[in-house]
Amino acid sequence: MQVRWIPGGSIFANSYIIGNILVDTGVMPMAVAPYKEAIDTIVLTHCHYDHIAHVKEIAHMCKSKVAIHKADARGLVEDLHSLAMNFGARSPGIAPDIVLNDGDTIGNFQVIHTPGHTPGCICLYSEKDRVLVSGDTVFADGYFGRYDFPGGSRTELARSLDRLGALDVEGLYAGHGEPTEQDGGRCIAAAVGLMKTGYG
């Protein structure tokens, strides 16, 4: 499975292109433009503004559908849930075309609902390719996402990390920082261990 990494700039999130899917839209539209003909679906890992900032423009440019978990859909229109005001901005003001639930399939991925950072955080998992696109649930440096934003929960995040820890993961593609193509499971295990120590 080829995963194309588009690094996030400054505080904005990474994007990934995997086949016909674009994951997250914090990057500038011009970074996605060379691949616009291939993209027909945008999957948002959660509703925070650094992941959805340019979804409206990119969806229009790519003529693509937008998918997000049902618990985070309101963040596309409500600034409180997207944290858009923290960025001096407003939510995109669009409705999703596809509302995701745990266990859904999108492309070659299974949707895994991993609440804790937000109520509707998701990861995308390919068992065949041992690839996990993890948003802000867990990072390749062995850390996990914050849970002190509105809708966050340490208890739910710990449960989500335990669930991810049971998966067979080689490639780990997170919302921030550099992804890793090897030993993704060890990164997740480190985050699980860190959570159990009471860190954060």
**How many whole angstroms separate alpha carbon 51 and alpha carbon 82?**
9
Give the pLDDT mean for 170-184.
Answer: 97
Asked whether 173 and 181 are in contact (CB, 8 A), the reply is no
Residue 173: its pLDDT value, please? Answer: 98
Residue 199's pLDDT band (cuts 50, 70, 90) = confident
Residue 178: its pLDDT value, please? Answer: 95
Residue 127: its pLDDT value, please? Answer: 97
Give the pLDDT mean for 24-35.
Answer: 97
Per-residue pLDDT for 32 more than 90?
Answer: yes
Residue 148: its pLDDT value, please? Answer: 95
- The percent of residues above 70 in pLDDT, for the chain, comes to 100
**pLDDT tens digits for range 125-167:** 999 999 999 999 999 999 999 999 999 999 999 999 999 999 9
Neighbours of 163 (CB within 10 A): 17
Quote the pTM value.
0.97
Residue 113: its pLDDT value, please? Answer: 98
Per-residue pLDDT for 96 more than 80?
Answer: yes
Per-residue pLDDT for 200 more than 80?
Answer: no
- Strands in 41-43's sheet, in edge-to-edge order, are 4-6, 15-18, 21-23, 41-43, 65-69, 98-100
Question: CATH number for the domain including 103?
Answer: 3.60.15.10
Specify the length of the chain in residues.
200
* Domain that residue 83 falls in: 3-197
Count of structural domains, the chain: 1
Residue 163: its pLDDT value, please? Answer: 98
Per-residue pLDDT for 9 more than 90?
Answer: no
Residue 198: its pLDDT value, please? Answer: 84
- Strands in 105-106's sheet, in edge-to-edge order, are 105-106, 109-113, 122-126, 131-135, 171-174
Per-residue pLDDT for 82 more than 80?
Answer: yes
